[in-house]
Structure formats: structure tokens, C-alpha cells
């Protein structure tokens, strides 16, 4: 267990679920809405938000950046990410489908 009381097994399950869903996440997430939600939750730094705002990155590249950064954002990052998807699902209904896919992958690991 780490200092937050979360087992390494739990963290590995969350990482595995993110990896299993990477293609769908990179294809379907709305980067702009998600970036704001993740920044509001403290999951992205100002520098990371600025990088995601650069026009030289495609939407898929921005989404991959977000997905690959999450494991380094602490033990609650997965939950904050799912919450950010939920927060933005009204404007982006596909985010609800992504949540279902992530939770299904998490439960099947």
C-alpha cells in the first residue's frame, strides 16, 4: 500500500484499464472541454494546459498526452479523470460511453 492507502494492485488495475481504452479515448475525447475540467481538478498544470493549446498538436495527440500523464498525477487521478469525463458528458455524450468502457475494463482486470 502507498501512503494514501491505495494498493499497488489497485493502481495497476487503473493503469491497465487506461491502456486498454487508449485507442477509444484518443479518438473520442473532446480535448478542449476535458482540459478545462482536469485543470479545475488540479490534474493538469498551467504549462500542460498551455501545451495542449498549441495548434501544432492534433486532437489525438492531445488526448494521448492526457492519458499518458494521468498515471503520474497521483492515486486519485483515475477517479478525477472519470469525474472530468462525467462533468463534460452533457456537451459530449460520447464521454459517457468512454466512462462505461473504462469502468468495464477496470472491473475485468
Q: What CATH number corresponds to the domain at position 96?
A: 1.10.533
CA angle at 43 for the pair 30 and 76, rounded to the nearest 5°: 110
Look at residue 55 and tell me if it is in a domain.
Answer: yes
Residue-level pLDDT at 5: 47
Q: What is the pLDDT of residue 8?
A: 85
Q: For the chain, what is the domain count?
A: 1
In this prediction, residue 54 carries a pLDDT of: 87
Give the per-residue pLDDT at 4: 46
pLDDT of residue 66: 95
pLDDT for 3: 42
Q: What is the pLDDT of residue 6?
A: 52
Q: Is residue 11 part of a domain?
A: no
Question: What count of Cα atoms within 13 Å lies in the side-chain half-sphere of residue 67?
Answer: 25
Low-confidence ranges of the chain (pLDDT < 50): 1-5
Q: Which of 23, 28, 67 is nearest to 44 (CA)?
A: 67
Amino acid at each position: 500500500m502507498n501512503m494514501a492507502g491505495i494498493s499497488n494492485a489497485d493502481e495497476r488495475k487503473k493503469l491497465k484499464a487506461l491502456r486498454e481504452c487508449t485507442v477509444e479515448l484518443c479518438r473520442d475525447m473532446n480535448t478542449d472541454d476535458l482540459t478545462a475540467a482536469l485543470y479545475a481538478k488540479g490534474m493538469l498544470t498551467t504549462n500542460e494546459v498551455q501545451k495542449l493549446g498549441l495548434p501544432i498538436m492534433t486532437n489525438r495527440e492531445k488526448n494521448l498526452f492526457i492519458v499518458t500523464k494521468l498515471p503520474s498525477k497521483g492515486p486519485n487521478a483515475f477517479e478525477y479523470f472519470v469525474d472530468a469525463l462525467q462533468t463534460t458528458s452533457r456537451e459530449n455524450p460520447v464521454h459517457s460511453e468512454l466512462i462505461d468502457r473504462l469502468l468495464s475494463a477496470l472491473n475485468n482486470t
